[in-house]
Structure 1
Amino acid sequence: MMSTKAFTLVPAVEWNLLLGEQERVHIECVECCGQNLYVGTHDGCIYHFLLEERTLPVGTATFTATKQLHRYLGARKPVSELRAASALHRLLMLSDSCITLADMLSLEPVPSGARIKGALAFTLNENPVSDDPFCVEVCIISAKRRTLQVFLVYEDRVQILREVSTSEQALAVAVDGPFLCLALTTQYIILNYLTGIAQDLFPYCSEEKHPIVKRIGRQEFLLAGPGGLGMFATVAGISQRAPVHWSENVIGAAICFPYVIALDNEFITVHSMLDQQQKQTLPFKEGHILQDFEGRVIVATSKGVYILVPLPLEKQIQDLLASHRVEEALVLAKGARRNIPKEKFQVMYRRILQQAGFIQFAQLQFLEAKELFRSGQLDVRELISLYPFLLPTSSSFTRSHPPLHEYADLNQLTQGDQEKMGKCKRFLMSYLNEVRSTEVANGYKEDIDTALLKLYAEANHDSLLDLLVTENFCLLTDSAAWLEKHKKYFALGLLYHYNNQDAAAVQLWVNIVNGDVQDSTRSDLYEYIVDFLTYSLDQELVWKYADWVLQKSEEVGVQVFTKRPVEEQQQKSFNPNDIITCLKKYPKALVKYLEHLVTEQKLQKEEYHTHLAVLYLDQVLQQQRLGASSKNTEASETQAKLRHLLQESDLYRVHFLLDRTQGAGLLMESAILHGKLEQHEEALHILVHELGDFSAAEDYCLWRSEGRGPAYRQQLFHTLLGLYLGASPSAQELSVAAVDLLNHHAAEFDAAQVLQLLPGTWSVQLLCPFLMGALRDNIHTRRTTQVAVGLARSENLIYKYDKMKLKGSSVCLSDKKLCQMCQTPFCEPVFVRYPNGGLVHTHCAASRRSNPSSPKLGTRT
């Protein structure tokens, strides 16, 4: 165990000052109360000294003892015990089994001659049971065998309070309140002298070992246990602290929190009550007295008196930290809480935690260091300042004084070891990332975020981008220079954007895409720029780079205009006509944008619909001129879009497009355009006779009749049937198409009219589906009509029944009956009665007939 300098042994009274040339005289006991030091000798003499304490410039304490007087007791027997009762200004002296009272200054016995006889040993109760402030409680081991007595001692008299018996002879005693801690012949016990209840502690052999019983606090005692153990015991008979290991030959013990001090024949040993470890050993031969008095520890030989002066706890803690004994320092610091004012302790303890954190940090114990930094509320800039160039130039931070550690910077701490330096930087990244969102960062956010950015950039860490796209306080000047130094141009653009410098950000990203600067952070940087411009509110910036993004890719670049936020589109911040003018040089982009206006935004403007249709038409015609196969995917898609637009839109210029399709071989498109002009015969003629697409002809009838009445649809189908039947008899295909049309759409035809048109050569079996469908439809219509007539008749019968009921009931008038029109009582028997039972005056009824908008009561009866 490494030693700790907790105490310094300082002489208090030398032999020549005490006894001069009387070499045969020996010190038997000592007592200290304030500056008063009393020494009792074996020849019955008591010496009184005044102690003056001084602190030397080097920090050590010295004592000067001034002899006041001495006095011999009458019997010239050894003075075995001395106790001062400062409240009574009395000194209690035990000699020759008798306790006498004397004045503390003159050492003269009290005039009353009060004394206690038959005492082998005694002690004062520092936690008295009595509330009387003019007395002290004294417990004595009586000369009577196996008896203890408790006395109340006043200035000039004594009064016995209690006498208790024990099973064995008591050898030593300590008192706390009503509890006596006794060392009997074979064991230690706790005895409550008020109740008589005894609690056994543990055995020991008095023949082999000198018993020690010491009160160390409220209801707690220190005992010399078996096996060289210093045992702690409470009045409940339990131990709340682990024992300390001291010598088998201990002859005295004292407490100076947080230390237990033990004396044997050769040494003074110091143990911590906090971790039970031995902290210091002081050589001290021939010592036989060790006692503590109000925090002052006195040790004596037979020839001299010495004082163990404790070093300040702060000095002890700093010495432990200097030796890198972190755990011991922290345990001692926690134990010092009871001896230091709360505010001072908190400041001191935080600093100790911070110092301990840096010690652990230097040893690369990062988890322990992090916890200590957090608990100590470390100013995080203390840690950042260890790393060269991480603090921003704007920071006004200066390190704590006195310093929390002994290192100039990270290079000195790691001695140039790159592996250790890398570990330290990774720790700082982790620690700063954790504390940047806590109260620790308050006031230092710029320092933390700037340092974090520099670490991320240097380490090529993925979190660099996360830092820059969220709220941060990175100093622009320092961060920009650092990112440029490490060639993090994309991240630099994000930094510019966060600081509202979008133009600089986009220009930097454009340079990366163009190859002017090298940065492989994002392989999709072009798409990122397009997305950035899409959501940018700076129109000038969007127009500035519109040509650049379109030149790179028309299909992707046009998203700058087509994928803008819905709110912005609703505000129409960009004029579509301006965009169309810009896109004239980019035909693919222009088509995409017009599709966006027509199909997505659904703008109802003829010019956009016509323009889009013309562009589709031009593409189809161009593909035809280039000899594109009908199976060409792109050609098929464009033509399908054209047909869909022609069918769905009602806003384009039909005649203009119809002229463009003439002679171009676009028969389907021509049919659709004729249909838009209600030229159904021309449209169906193209579909049937020129294209020969019978399913398209049927679809045409369904398309054009959508949303129209049944008569309109029937007319279209009859027109198509007429085209089929009007062909030459040899046109077998059209006959088959006519049969299929009738059989598949029987409900769309007037059966009687169709039967008159059909050739007589067609069999009933051929038209069986049509005939069955027509018959079923006819039957359904007839039965539906019958149901409707029946319901009407039922409703009429119900109405007639209600009317007859009203006619058969009597009418009673009274003043309580009110006219339902004017709300006045019937004062004359002239009224009109309505079918619903309502009554009105005749003049109200006349008014009702002249003003039809008045409330409707029913039919007059």
Structure 2
Amino acid sequence: MAFKAFTKTQIYEKHEAPKEKDKLGIQCLECFDRNLYIGSKNATVQHLILQNSTSRDLSPGQSKTREARAGCVQLVTSSSRRRVIRIHVVAVDSWEVLKEVPLQQDPVALAVDGTCLCVGTCDRYLLCDVETGSSEELFPHKHNRQRVVVTSVGRGEFLLNGPESLGMFVMKTGICQRPPLQWPQEVLAATVCFPYILTLQPQLLSVYSMLDQRCKQSVSLHGGKGLLSTSDGVLVFTEREIFSLSLVPFEEQIQALVGHERVEEALLLLDGVQSRRPLDSYKELQKAVTCLAGFVHFYQEGFSEARELFIAGDLDPRELILLYPDMRSCLSNDFQSQFDQGTQKGRALQVLWREDTNMFHHYLHFLADFLQAVRGTERDSACSAEVDCALLRLYVVLGDTGNLQQLVTSPNECKLDHCVPALEKNNRYFALGSLYQSQGRQTDAIKAWVNIAEGAHQDDSCSDVYGHIVRTLSQLDDRDIVRKFADWTLQNNQEKGVQIFTNRPPDDRLETQDVFVLLEKYPLASVLYLEFLIHDLSSEEERHHSRLALAYVAQTLREEEEADLRSTRGKLQHLLWESKFYDVSTVYDRVKSTTLHVETAILLGRSGEHSRALQVLVHQERDPQAAEAYCCRAAQGHGAPFRQALLLTLLQIYLSSEDPTGTAVDLLNDNPRGFAAEEVVQLLPDSWSVQLVSQFLVGSVRATLHQSRMVKLQKALARVELMRHKVTWMQASKAMFRLDKEQKCKVCQRVLAEPHFACDLHGQLMHVGCTINQSVACSCTL
């Protein structure tokens, strides 16, 4: 069915004898409210009253008269013979000409808008101002008198039959604000019934839109003579008949355009009429039309346009979900669609679902994109559970692991009874665990991940499920769940498993003693936890330091037998040297009977028994470098004399050994500045030659000489500084100072009443006692 902007109804027909046909034919019409005035060729006027009904039937012969005394009207007439336009004031009992506007050509057509007249003459169109009498030529034409058309559009605008069969819109200012309308050459009359323009031809009535200049409707009409615009439509008349063209309600017009898939026209019409004839339900109607337009593009696979229209039309997401056969289970049973999707053209999604999987996947991607765009908006608030369930199923079907994981890890409204089977069916067990976690079911979540880590379920979407479990447990508030799965994590990997205790937030750490109980069976994890307490948390508890030291000892001894374990001895030695909090005696009792001689020496040194420590390194460890390094390390923070004493003790140990020559000489030669030469000479055996210790003696003498020279240089620099101060004092002492009776101190502002005073470099006087933190040039005595 073709689109209709107007419905045609016959409302009047004249029945005269054939011989009176030429005399009584309809010549013109005028209408005011329900009053219709018919002018005949014989100069008679017939008054008809339209009934107040939808049929708009007339009652011929029914005329009423009434007396009117209270007002007057303004009447504009044109005279072709005199080439003049007159403005009259017509009252009940008077007729007066107010003004005449002369013309150079015969007026053929006339339209009035306020004080502006638009006149069509035999060869041109003019604009005339009634008040000033001025006129402006618009453009010429070559129409005969019957085709000169001038009609008022309203708001200071006129419609003219211009050259080249163009309907021209001209403002009273003489400019055009609309594009011209291309219409047929045989136009006899034209009128405007916003937003349409109606043109009358000998056998046809055409309806054009002012919004897009396109022809919307054609009405067959034989012998049409003229048009008359009314408040709710247009009257068209022939010699014998009058027809009413009633404007179809705009809501029906818009629905009809959408039904014909002319959605752009529907939206254009909706916006156009709203500016001139506001509709009470405009917003809702606009949303509905916009959504219907979106459905048209949707079925035509215009997904980008459909998405924008659906969003602009505030479409309920469930309307789209309903179209997908496999997604309907996401909707609640009480949902009722507001659109008749059965009338939409295009390939039904049910057919695509069964026959064209590739194309159906394009529709699935569109649905996912749209639901993701509206998720979290105000439109989604009423159906968030349906949207989230549909999105989850879409991500699973499309294999969109990233978006699926983002959905199930963020706060969501997914229904477990609907989503869990979908995830299990498609082996999405990692996402299943994340969904459980987002719903507060932490135990079920971790169990799902444990099954993946143990191989009970296959899911490649996460490459490190075990690490994810550890990270989750490290952030979990529920201590019972942490304890429940702690053994499983530690059994699989102690080094990573201990992170459930070490990576916890600072304000949510477990009790240390509880952790030690859990780690009792896992030595490596215990060591790592103790290192965390000492190095990261800076624990100063003796039990922690002692426990770590003992753990290092046990692990070091174990490493001697199992070479594949990591080295711990360096950590043990560092702890024994650096820590001040472990129990030295407890650790010493553990290592004294082992092969850890360096550690034994360190512990003896921590007890102050440096001689015993060096003897262990020399006689048991048999490592001169270790003994020498011990002296350097033990002397840190004690100064050079303490280091000299340790080295001297080590030298004595070497000299008392069975074969002291090599190690003792190396010690002396490597540390010429670490010994006092006079003390060393007294200890050396008489059998040693000077040549044997010459390197040491040369180095010691050079060090002593260097030290002596450095002392002399420092003394010389001190003398220079003293001399500089004396020069400054002498220069200041030669200056004259004036001390008034009421002279005040610069610092304390008290009067200088004592005979002694001081002066700064700027010549300001002060008490001698006030010179602290002041740069004083000299002090004087009166």
Q: If the TM-score is normalised by the length of the shorter chain, which range does it land in?
A: 0.7 to 0.9
- 1:157 maps to what in 2? 94
Pair 1:458-2:457 in alignment: no
The within-5 A match list for 1:616-695 is 616-624=552-560, 626=561, 634=565, 637-662=567-592, 664-688=594-618, 691=621, 693-695=623-625
Contact 2:161 2:168 in 1 (8 A): yes
Contact 2:108 2:145 in 1 (8 A): no
Range 651-660 or range 35-44, more displaced: 651-660
Deviation at 1:268, TM superposition (A): 0.9
- 2:6 maps to what in 1? 7
Pair 1:44-2:43 in alignment: yes
Q: What SS is found at the alignment partner of 2:418?
A: helix
- 1:237 to 1:801, Cα distance in 2 relative to 1, 3 A: closer
- Distance (Å, rounded) in 1 between the aligned partners of 2:549 and 2:372: 57
- Write the letter of the residue equivalent to 1:554: Q
- 1:84 maps to what in 2? none
- 1:434 maps to what in 2? 373
Q: Provide, for residues 360-395 of structure 1, a one-character-per-residue CA deviation record: whole Å limited to 9, x for no partner.
A: 222222222222222222233333333357478784
Q: Provide, for residues 63-122 of structure 1, a one-character-per-residue CA deviation record: whole Å limited to 9, x for no partner.
A: 2333235xxxxxxxxxxxxxxxxxxxxxxxxxxxxxxxxxxx5599x99xxxxxxxxxxx
Q: What SS is found at the alignment partner of 1:240?
A: coil
- 1:240 maps to what in 2? 177
- 2:59 maps to what in 1? 65
Q: What SS is found at the alignment partner of 1:54?
A: coil
- Distance (Å, rounded) in 1 between the aligned partners of 2:90 and 2:519: 112
Contact 1:141 1:173 in 2 (8 A): no
Aligned residue among 428, 435, 438 for 1:498: 438
- 2:528 maps to what in 1? 592
- Distance (Å, rounded) in 2 between the aligned partners of 1:322 and 1:741: 104
- 1:714 to 1:157, Cα distance in 2 relative to 1, 3 A: farther
- 1:184 to 1:558, Cα distance in 2 relative to 1, 3 A: same
Q: What SS is found at the alignment partner of 1:171?
A: strand
Pair 1:522-2:462 in alignment: yes
- 2:32 maps to what in 1? 33
The within-5 A match list for 1:181-220 is 181-207=118-144, 210-220=147-157
The within-5 A match list for 1:107-146 is 134-145=72-83
- 1:597 to 1:456, Cα distance in 2 relative to 1, 3 A: same
- Distance (Å, rounded) in 1 between the aligned partners of 2:433 and 2:419: 11
More helix by share: 2
Pair 1:601-2:537 in alignment: yes
Q: What SS is found at the alignment partner of 2:376?
A: coil
- 2:772 maps to what in 1? none
Q: CA RMSD in A?
A: 4.0
- 1:855 maps to what in 2? none
Range 309-318 or range 750-759, more displaced: 750-759
- Distance (Å, rounded) in 1 between the aligned partners of 2:339 and 2:323: 16
- 1:258 maps to what in 2? 195
- Write the letter of the residue equivalent to 1:638: T
Contact 1:725 1:735 in 2 (8 A): no
Contact 2:8 2:244 in 1 (8 A): yes
- Distance (Å, rounded) in 2 between the aligned partners of 1:801 and 1:721: 59
The within-5 A match list for 1:793-832 is none
Q: What SS is found at the alignment partner of 1:537?
A: coil
- Write the letter of the residue equivalent to 2:598: M
Contact 2:27 2:239 in 1 (8 A): yes
The within-5 A match list for 1:250-329 is 250-329=187-266
Deviation at 1:216, TM superposition (A): 0.8
Deviation at 1:30, TM superposition (A): 1.6
Which stretches in structure 2 are left out of the alignment for 5+ residues?
759-764, 768-778
Q: What SS is found at the alignment partner of 2:245?
A: strand
- Distance (Å, rounded) in 1 between the aligned partners of 2:553 and 2:371: 62
- 1:421 maps to what in 2? 360
- 1:565 maps to what in 2? 505
- Write the letter of the residue equivalent to 1:654: V
- 1:545 maps to what in 2? 485
Q: Provide, for residues 753-800 of structure 1, a one-character-per-residue CA deviation record: whole Å limited to 9, x for no partner.
A: 456667633576665444333322233235445656886899899999
Deviation at 1:663, TM superposition (A): 5.5
- Distance (Å, rounded) in 2 between the aligned partners of 1:575 and 1:859: 72
- 1:582 to 1:394, Cα distance in 2 relative to 1, 3 A: same
Contact 2:677 2:697 in 1 (8 A): no
Pair 1:610-2:608 in alignment: no
Deviation at 1:149, TM superposition (A): 3.0
Q: What SS is found at the alignment partner of 2:153?
A: strand
Deviation at 1:267, TM superposition (A): 0.8
- Distance (Å, rounded) in 2 between the aligned partners of 1:207 and 1:800: 126
Aligned residue among 478, 496, 505 for 2:418: 478
Deviation at 1:530, TM superposition (A): 1.1
- Distance (Å, rounded) in 2 between the aligned partners of 1:379 and 1:672: 78
- 1:642 to 1:358, Cα distance in 2 relative to 1, 3 A: same
- Distance (Å, rounded) in 1 between the aligned partners of 2:211 and 2:537: 78
- Distance (Å, rounded) in 2 between the aligned partners of 1:777 and 1:838: 44
Aligned residue among 491, 513, 527 for 1:577: 513
Deviation at 1:502, TM superposition (A): 0.9
Q: What SS is found at the alignment partner of 2:456?
A: coil
- Distance (Å, rounded) in 2 between the aligned partners of 1:49 and 1:590: 108
Q: Provide, for residues 587-634 of structure 1, a one-character-per-residue CA deviation record: whole Å limited to 9, x for no partner.
A: 22222222222333332233333333233223333343x3x6xxx574
- Distance (Å, rounded) in 1 between the aligned partners of 2:100 and 2:56: 45
Q: What SS is found at the alignment partner of 1:173?
A: strand
Q: Provide, for residues 289-343 of structure 1, a one-character-per-residue CA deviation record: whole Å limited to 9, x for no partner.
A: 2221334311111122221122222112211211222122222222221454343
- Write the letter of the residue equivalent to 2:548: L
Range 523-532 or range 602-611, more displaced: 602-611
Aligned residue among 21, 24, 38 for 1:23: 21
- 1:165 to 1:394, Cα distance in 2 relative to 1, 3 A: closer
- Write the letter of the residue equivalent to 2:74: V
Contact 1:512 1:518 in 2 (8 A): yes
- 1:155 to 1:713, Cα distance in 2 relative to 1, 3 A: farther
Range 360-369 or range 188-197, more displaced: 188-197
- Distance (Å, rounded) in 2 between the aligned partners of 1:703 and 1:297: 112
- Distance (Å, rounded) in 2 between the aligned partners of 1:488 and 1:580: 37
Deviation at 1:686, TM superposition (A): 4.1
Contact 1:392 1:450 in 2 (8 A): no
- 1:79 maps to what in 2? none
Contact 1:51 1:66 in 2 (8 A): no
Range 381-390 or range 501-510, more displaced: 381-390
- Distance (Å, rounded) in 2 between the aligned partners of 1:765 and 1:701: 21
- Write the letter of the residue equivalent to 1:536: L
- Distance (Å, rounded) in 2 between the aligned partners of 1:39 and 1:681: 139
- Distance (Å, rounded) in 2 between the aligned partners of 1:757 and 1:694: 19
Q: Provide, for residues 827-854 of structure 1, a one-character-per-residue CA deviation record: whole Å limited to 9, x for no partner.
A: xxxx988867999xxxxxxxxxxxxxxx
Contact 1:381 1:397 in 2 (8 A): no
- Distance (Å, rounded) in 2 between the aligned partners of 1:784 and 1:340: 104
Contact 1:654 1:677 in 2 (8 A): yes
Contact 2:559 2:565 in 1 (8 A): no
The within-5 A match list for 1:698-847 is 698-723=628-653, 731-742=661-672, 746=673, 748-750=674-676, 753-754=679-680, 760-761=690-691, 767-784=697-714
Contact 2:81 2:106 in 1 (8 A): no
Q: What SS is found at the alignment partner of 1:217?
A: coil
Normalising to structure 1: TM-score of the pair?
A: 0.78
Contact 1:53 1:64 in 2 (8 A): no
Q: What SS is found at the alignment partner of 2:280?
A: helix
- Distance (Å, rounded) in 1 between the aligned partners of 2:201 and 2:542: 113
- 1:503 to 1:728, Cα distance in 2 relative to 1, 3 A: closer
Range 755-764 or range 267-276, more displaced: 755-764
Contact 1:317 1:332 in 2 (8 A): yes
